[in-house]
Amino acid sequence: MKKCLTLFLLILCSCNLQNIESNQILKTYSGNYQGNLIWSDEIFILGDTVIEGDLSIEPGTKVFFFVQDDQKSGNEFPADGFNDFDPTRLKEYEVSHSVLHVLGKLNSVGTIENKIIFSSAAKNPKNADWISVIISSDGSHIENSVVEWSRNGITLWGNQPNTIIKNNIINNTFWGAISSDKSSAKILNNEIIRAGHEGVDVQGGNPLIKNNKISKSRTGIVIIDGSSIIENNELIDVGKGIYVKEGANPQIKDNIIEEINEKSIFWFYDDFNYSII
């Protein structure tokens, strides 16, 4: 018992958490968990956490990520000509920062008054303090949630035409705020602020991206492939409004785009930075 208490105090002090009393028992997660889970109150992620089932999160829940990964797991992203010198693509970053990966459905539906929050546990949060919320199953629903201080924000894997990402606030993301892969998800009415790569990234499929407000981001929406519908979005103070790679076939209409023509916004990680143009 004494050894456990000592370990608890060491963790508490080393992470410099705010809003935690010394007598509070933390709900901590790290590693693999089988079956369906329900989270409420305050949750603390100590390392890469994989839910091998569905995860439901109750309104008002706060999910805090320690700036660490006690699992020491992760893989390097290859250089692509854009991210070559970015330290957050390297394995050293991956094995020292945490991710939440839900293999089943994620149901993170808050209310206007009681939003669900995914954030850094650091007292003074910084860009890329944690990696991402990754979802692998169709039918997930994220609404009235706040995602902040991550590298990737929300990441979808695979075909998810029935997944809904709606009415969320995603801010201070070092890479993309919503990485939709080839999911064909519905991305609606979200407010995205300060994304170092892009507000929404589409690798394929036919997602519906509608009524979102994306501001102070390097690129509003990036379309690599597929036939997405991009409609009635506001892309304000962005370096590039909508980028469409040759071969993609999106339907684009009624969007408001206001681009910035000077390097007025930066995203820093240690000595490395991205600029808005």
pLDDT at site 264: 87
Domain ranges of the chain: 25-275
Average pLDDT, the chain: 93
Dist. CA 64–CA 17, nearest whole Å: 10
DSSP readout, 181-225?
Answer: TT---EEES-EEEEESSEEEEE-SS--EEES-EEES-SEEEEE-S
- From the list 142, 147, 125, 115, the residue with the least C-alpha distance to 55 is 142
**What would the pLDDT profile of 232-255 be if each residue is shown by its tens digit?**
999 999 999 999 999 999 999 999
pTM of the model: 0.92
pLDDT at site 187: 98
**What would the pLDDT profile of 184-197 be if each residue is shown by its tens digit?**
999 999 999 999 99
Query: Looking at the predicted structure, is the pLDDT value of residue 19 above 70?
Result: no
Per cent of the chain over pLDDT 90 is: 89
Tokens of 210: 């509608």
**What would the pLDDT profile of 72-96 be if each residue is shown by its tens digit?**
999 999 999 999 999 999 999 999 9
Residue 100's H or E segment, with its range, is: strand 100-102
Q: Measured at the alpha carbon of residue 91, what is the angle toward residues 87 and 92, in degrees to the nearest 5?
A: 65
Q: How far is CA 18 from each of CA 15, 122, 216, rounded to the nearest angstrom?
A: 9, 7, 28
- From the list 187, 179, 191, the residue with the least C-alpha distance to 161 is 187
Q: Measured at the alpha carbon of residue 59, what is the angle toward residues 126 and 19, in degrees to the nearest 5?
A: 45
H helices of the chain, where?
Answer: 2-15, 91-94
What's the pLDDT band for 5 if we cut at 50, 70, 90?
very low
Query: Looking at the predicted structure, is the pLDDT value of residue 15 above 90?
Result: no
Q: How far is CA 267 from each of CA 36, 85, 239, rounded to the nearest angstrom?
A: 37, 14, 13
